[in-house]
Chains A and B, each alone.
Chain A
Amino acid sequence: MSDEEAKVTVQEAEKKSQPVLKTLRPENLSVLIQKGLDLGYKVFAPVKDGELVTFEQISGPGEVFLEGITTRMSPKSVFFPRTEKVFSYRIAKEDIALGDQKDFAPPTIILGCRPCDAASLPIMDRLFRWDYQDRFWNERREATLIVSISCLECDEACFCTSVGLAPDSTEGSDILLTLVSRDQYLAEIMTDKGADFVEKTGLFDQAGADLDKAAATKAVRGKLGQRFDLDKIKPWLDENYEHDFWKEVTRMCIGCGICTYVCPTCHCFDLVDEAHYDGGAKNKNWDACQFAQFTVHASGHNPRPDQVSRHRQRIMHKYKYYPDNLGATLCTGCGRCVRHCPMEVNLIRILNGICELSAGELPAEAPESK
């Protein structure tokens, strides 16, 4: 499969050449959710339970919680559950019978996801559609409609603008809603899938030409600024697999998997057998490069024997290997790893450190003419 083919993703294949612009009244968002449920979709949306906001399957619009920046866990689990049976088997006499998985991709809506989370999906499509096709991811992707909402707020951990995205990016969304005034969402309908749904609900109005998404998200863009210079990262990583920097910046990393598990683009998994007396199943479980066991050979030899090498792997994978192999940065700047690290390892700090090193080590570039 050529690189070009690898880059064709679900969204890109279905993408409309020009997004269709419509509007939705904020009070109709609940009606929209109910319509989705009535039309037979499984609907996942942010739900608040105590301090914790995560994507859950909902049964009514009242459960949805749309305040806050990002949810604790990303919506990737809708496509890539933390534990999923990929086949079952049964021992029958001297024989073994295999059972394939069926009906795992019902029509689904993810509502209220942030542009950074939506953008993670076409990035991961590149992997799951690369060469061997992972039907568990792919079929769910095809069956799922993504309705995202642009961010009007951010926190210090957010850095979408530093990885080429924005608080109102449309990447990965079928429909992106941006609150352009108190009584109007601008709806950018990006795909045929989105247009079909809009049609079915009958809740959207024609948009006037005066609606300005950029004005609505200007303040938050300003607040986000540029936290680091992405262009400097990969060239430095290309040259610096070995560098004392890694040891210095990762010494406080305790090797828990939080950063990978809350990440919308981390996708490493394990395949494990679970048996009972006359049968069992193969489960595809989330796994993490931060765990010592991740790469250990049966002989006991471990090619990544310390936390330094494991932490470096995570950054290399996101900012070098994935771009090398699949043509995209494996990070959308959602900031979850920064927000939830118990030791405040802070990816932004590390990437900034790389930018500083890169400025010190590379020949100074000619100033850009603007």
Chain B
Amino acid sequence: MIEQIREKAKELLTSGEVKVVIGYENGGMPETTRPVFITSPDEVERLIWNKHCYANLANFFVRKEVASLGKPAIIAKGCDVKAITVLVQESQIKREEIVILGVTCEGVGEPLLSKCPICDVNTPRDYNFLFGKEIAPKNGINKSADVEEFERKSPEERWEFWEEQFSRCIKCYACRQVCPLCYCEVCIADKNQPQWIETSSHTRGNVHWNLIRAWHLSGRCIDCGECERACPVGIPLSLLNRRLAKSVKERFGYEPGYDQEKAPPFTDFKQEDSQEFIR
């Protein structure tokens, strides 16, 4: 299928329909890939596709180093496409100004990343061109099984767990930088008038940061798991993200990234929204 992708990339670049194809090339380390920005039809051979194509390339739309190259085509897995959908909903990109080269995907990583067994977008829900055999979405997946299991613990145990996890945080902000939906021009963590979040990497500052990051993504996070993959100290950020996703789904019946037309819960008010928290 990589041959078809390269062919399409070449065609798009040659015709001038796109100026850059954002894809993956082989990394220098075994079992790694690296984002690559192909601007010339002669270079499409560099493009690859395999189960180590982890990065959510939607991250690069908002980066000026990439945006300055011109109209992009992007190689995107189902989960990556969900991020694109949210970016379009949030007016960060215009759908017609990008070309999605969707790839069907049976999961990345060996062993599979935690997002893959609970994936229901093996075939991307939006694309301009699709590569690979269509995979029917699995039915009846419980996306929050790990959250439910975790919630059987007592509040004290849960707090202890997170305190321990966050105490390792080194404030490298990789979770933010790698997230396709963390695109704020000035992140609240970088604002100092007032200083909302302590910059020190002690437990208090770390809890601050990690909770606010997760909250800012509630109802938006599409569980691409990039934050958890990038975290150099192994904080299980997906567990936190899925916990918030579970609440949003329960309360508002909403899952981000599936339907461009459906208004995100935090931009929309409905009379029937659960309002018991106001009492």
Contacts and interface: CB of A to CB of B under 8 A. Distances in A.
Interface of A: 49-52, 54, 72-73, 82-83, 155-157, 247, 250-252, 254-258, 260-262, 270, 272, 274, 283, 285-286, 288, 291-293, 306-308, 338-340, 342-346, 348-349
Contacts of B37: 251-252
Interface residues of B, number: 39
B20 to A, nearest CB: 10
Contacts of B60: 252
A262 B232 contact: yes
Contacts of B32: 344
B27 interface: yes
B143 to A, nearest CB: 23
B49 to A, nearest CB: 16
A254 B190 contact: no
Contact of A272 (B29, B34, B199, B233): B199
Specify which of A72, A258, A339 lies most central, judged by the most chain B CB atoms within 10 Å of its CB.
A258
B172 interface: yes
B28 A254 contact: no
Interface string B241-265: 0000000000000000000000000
Given A251-B37, A338-B28, A73 B170 contact: yes
B34 A254 contact: no
B113 to A, nearest CB: 13
B66 interface: yes
List 8 A-B pairs, minimum CB-CB distance, nearest first.
A256-B174, A342-B230, A256-B177, A344-B34, A344-B27, A257-B172, A252-B35, A83-B200
B186 to A, nearest CB: 8
A72 B202 CA distance: 19
Given A157-B29, A286-B201, A343-B34, 10 more contacts: A50-B234, A82-B201, A83-B201, A256-B174, A256-B177, A285-B171, A286-B170, A306-B64, A342-B174, A343-B178
Interface of B: 27-30, 32-37, 55, 59-60, 63-66, 168, 170-174, 176-178, 190, 198-202, 205, 226, 229-230, 232-234
Contact of B199 (A49, A155, A285): A285
22 contacts: A49-B234, A52-B168, A54-B233, A73-B232, A155-B29, A156-B28, A251-B37, A254-B59, A256-B173, A256-B174, A256-B176, A256-B230, A257-B174, A258-B172, A291-B190, A292-B190, A306-B64, A339-B29, A343-B34, A344-B29, A344-B35, A346-B34
Given A340-B232, A343-B35, A306 B65 contact: yes
B34 A338 contact: no
